C-alpha cells in the first residue's frame, strides 16, 4: 500500500461515518486500538486540528491485526481524550467491559517541530505496570530501527487521558498512549520511514507478549 492509498482509506472512512460521533469495528483479540483525534476537536472552547496520521495509522493496524477498534469521526465540540466525560469514552468503556479487553493502545500525533519520532505516554509507568516486558519490547524495536523515542515527554498520558481513564476504571488493564510525529505520518517524502513504523507496530501487536 502506498502513501496515497493509506490516506485515501482514512478519508473514505470519515466520509462514510461523518454523522456519527465515533465508530467501533469488532475484533478478534483482547486488544483495542483507539484514535480519538483523527478529526478536529474543541478543547476548553478552543479549536484543535485533526491529527490525521493517528487515524491513518490506526485504520491500517486494525485491518492488519484484527484488533478491536474505536475512532472519533465527528467534531461534536468536545475533546474525547481531554474531557473527563464524553460519548467516546462511554462507548470505549462499554466495549472494554463487554468484550473483556485487556489492552488499549491509544494513537495520537505529535507536532513536527518536536525532536522525537515517537512519544510513549505511560503515566510514569502506572499504565503499563501489568506487562513491563511488552512495553520494553516496543521501545527496543523502535530504537533498534533508528527511531527517536521519548517516554512520558512531552506527553505522559495522565489525568483524564483515555489511557489513564481506562486504567483508573479497569485496574487490571494495560494502556499506552502513542504519539507519532506528523513529519512521519503526513509527509510523502518520509513514507519509507512510515512503512517501517507500521511494520514495527504490526509485528508488536501480533506478539505473544500480549497475554
Q: What is the pLDDT of residues 145-155, one digit of tens each?
A: 999 999 999 99
pLDDT score of 17: 98
Q: Which CATH entry fits the domain spanning 3-205: 3.40.630.40, 3.40.50.261, 3.90.340.10, 1.10.10.60?
A: 3.40.630.40
Contacts (Cβ under 8 Å, ≥6 apart) of 125? none
pLDDT score of 1: 80
pLDDT of 211 over the 90 cut: no
Query: If you average pLDDT over residues 29-42, what whole number do you get?
Result: 98
**In this structure, what are the phi and psi dihedrals at residue 156, rounded to the nearest 5 degrees?**
-110, 0
What is the distance between the alpha carbons of residues 52 and 55, in angstroms, rounded to a whole number?
6
Helices assigned H by DSSP within 74-146 = 87-99, 132-144
Task: Break the chain into its structural domains and give their ranges.
Answer: 3-205
What burial letters (b/e) apply to 159-180, b meaning 16+ CB within 10 Å?
A: eebbbbbbbeebeebbbbbbbb
pLDDT score of 193: 98
What is the distance between the alpha carbons of residues 175 and 205, in angstroms, rounded to a whole number?
13
pLDDT score of 102: 98
pLDDT score of 205: 98
Query: If you average pLDDT over residues 30-57, what whole number do you get?
Result: 97
Look at residue 210 and give its three-state secondary structure.
coil
Query: If you average pLDDT over residues 185-190, what whole number do you get?
Result: 97
pLDDT score of 157: 98
Q: Return the DSSP state at 69.
A: E
pLDDT of 118 over the 90 cut: yes
Amino acid at each position: 500500500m502506498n502513501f496515497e492509498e493509506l490516506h485515501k482509506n482514512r478519508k473514505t472512512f470519515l466520509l462514510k461515518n461523518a454523522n456519527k460521533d465515533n465508530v467501533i469495528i469488532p475484533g478478534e483479540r483482547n486488544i483495542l486500538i483507539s484514535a480519538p483525534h483523527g478529526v478536529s476537536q474543541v478543547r476548553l472552547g478552543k479549536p484543535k486540528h485533526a491529527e490525521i496520521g493517528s487515524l491513518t495509522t490506526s485504520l491500517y493496524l486494525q485491518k492488519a491485526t484484527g484488533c478491536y477498534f474505536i475512532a472519533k469521526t465527528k467534531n461534536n465540540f468536545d475533546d474525547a481524550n481531554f474531557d473527563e466525560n464524553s460519548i467516546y469514552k462511554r462507548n470505549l468503556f462499554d466495549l472494554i467491559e463487554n468484550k473483556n479487553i485487556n489492552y488499549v493502545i491509544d494513537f495520537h500525533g505529535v507536532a513536527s517541530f518536536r525532536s522525537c519520532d515517537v512519544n510513549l505516554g505511560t503515566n510514569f509507568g502506572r499504565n503499563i505496570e501489568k506487562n513491563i516486558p511488552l512495553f520494553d519490547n516496543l521501545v527496543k524495536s523502535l530504537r533498534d530501527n533508528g527511531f527517536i523515542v521519548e517516554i512520558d515527554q512531552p506527553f505522559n498520558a495522565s489525568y483524564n487521558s483515555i489511557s489513564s481513564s481506562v486504567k483508573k476504571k479497569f485496574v487490571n488493564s494495560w494502556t499506552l498512549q502513542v504519539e507519532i510525529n506528523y513529519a512521519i505520518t503526513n509527509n510523502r517524502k518520509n513514507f519509507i520511514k512510515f512503512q517501517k513504523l507500521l511494520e514495527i507496530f504490526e509485528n508488536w501487536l501480533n506478539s505473544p507478549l500480549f497475554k
